[in-house]
Amino acid sequence: MAHRTFLFAGWIRLWHWCNLLFFLGLTLSGLILHFSPPKVGILDYNLAQRIHNIFGVALAVSYLFFVVANFATGNWKQFVPRFSGFLGQAIRQTRYYLFDIFFGRPAPFPTTAEDHFNPLQKLIYLIVMYVMMPVLIITGLMYLWPEMAPDRLFGLDGLLPVAMLHYIVAYLLILFMCAHVYLCTCGSSITAHFKAMITGWHEE
Amino acid sequence: MKHALLAVLAVAFLALWGAPSPVHAAGNDLGMEDADQESTQKIRQANAECLSCHTSTDNPQPVAAPRASGPSGGKTAEDDAKDERKARRMQLVIDGGHYSGSVHADMSCKDCHGEPHTAQSKSSPPTACPSCHRPQRGTIVPEVARSVHGKDKLPAFTCYSCHDPHNVRKARSLGAERNIAARDNMMCRSCHDDDARYALMTDKPRPDLLKAHRWQPNPEMHWAAVRCIDCHTPEKTGAQPSHEILPKDKAARLCVDCHSTNASLLTRLYRHEIGEQRVNAAGFINAYILTQAYVVGVTRNQYLDWASLILLVVVIGGLAGHGLLRYVGHLARKGRK
Domain ranges of chain A: 4-203
Cα-Cα-Cα-Cα dihedral sign, residues B264, B269, B273, B275: positive
Given B256, B276, B296, the domain boundary residue is: B276
Q: What are phi and psi of B292, to 5 degrees?
A: -115, -40
Same domain as B190, residue B262: yes
Q: How many whole angstroms separate alpha carbon A179 and alpha carbon B96?
A: 68
Partnered with residue A199 across adjacent β-strands are: none
**CB proximity A117 to B under 8 Å:** no
pLDDT at B56: 57
Q: What is the mean pLDDT of chain B?
A: 75
Task: Evaluate whether residue B150 is within a structural domain.
Answer: yes
* Domain boundary, last residue among B250, B276, B302: B276
- Assign B55 to helix, strand or coil: strand
B170/B107 same-domain check: no
**Which residue type, as a one-letter code, is found at position B163?**
H
Do B104 and B233 have their domain in common? no
The pLDDT assigned to A69 comes to: 92
pTM of the model: 0.81
Which residue in the set A34, A160, A179 is minimally distant from B315, CB to CB? A179
Give a yes or no: residue B22 inside a domain.
no
Q: Does residue B171 lie in a domain region? A: yes
> Is B297 in contact with A36 (Cβ distance < 8 A)?
yes
Taking CB atoms within 8 Å and a gap of at least 24, the contacts of B193-198 are: B196/B84, B196/B88, B197/B88
Domain-located, residue B73: no
Higher pLDDT, A74 or A23: A23
Determine phi and psi for B229, rounding to 5 degrees.
Answer: -70, -15
pLDDT band, residue B188 (cuts 50/70/90): very high
The answer on B173 and B249 residing in a single domain is yes
Assess whether B157 and B196 both reside in one domain: yes
The arithmetic mean of pLDDT across residues B128-138, rounded, is: 82
Judge: B323–A182 Cβ closer than 8 Å, yes or no. yes
Picking from B276, B306, B330, the residue at the C-terminal end of a domain is B276
Chain A: give the shortest CA distance to residue B226, in Å.
15
Residue B204 lies in domain? 124-276
For residues B85 and B192, membership in a common domain is answered with no
Same domain, B154 and B91: no
Q: How many distinct structural domains can be found in chain B?
A: 2
What is the CB neighbour count within 10 angstroms for residue A91?
Answer: 13
Q: Does A176 reach chain B within 8 Å, measured CB to CB?
A: no
CATH code linked to domain A4-203: 1.20.950.20
User: Which amino acid is residue A28, in one-letter code?
Assistant: L
Q: Are residues B189 and B214 in the same domain?
A: yes
Put simply, the answer to whether B329 touches A167 (Cβ < 8 Å) is no
Domain membership of residue B10 (yes or no) is no
CA distance B232 to B221: 17
Q: What is the mean pLDDT of chain A?
A: 86
Higher pLDDT, A51 or B32: A51
Q: Is residue B13 part of a domain?
A: no
Spatial contact of A33 and B296, defined as CB atoms under 8 Å apart? yes
Residue A28 has pLDDT above 90, yes or no: yes
Q: Are residues B113 and B170 in the same domain?
A: no
**Which of the given ranges, A57-71, A153-167, A190-204, B285-299, has the highest pLDDT on average?**
A57-71
**pLDDT value at A38 more than 60:** yes
The whole-number average pLDDT for the span A113-121 is 81
Nearest to A129 by CA among A50, A200, A71: A71
Q: In A, which residues are within 8 Å of B297 by CB distance?
A: 33-36, 45
Query: Does residue B308 lie within any of the structural domains?
Result: no
Rounded distance, CA B27 to CA B8, Å?
29
Is the confidence at residue B57, as pLDDT, over 60? no
| Residue B322 in domain | no
Inter-chain CB proximity A164 and B215 less than 8 Å: no
Confidence of residue B70 (pLDDT cuts 50, 70, 90): very low
Predicted local confidence at residue A156, as pLDDT: 64
- With beta carbons less than 8 A apart as the criterion, state whether A142 and A149 touch: yes
Please check whether residues B216 and B153 belong to one and the same domain: yes
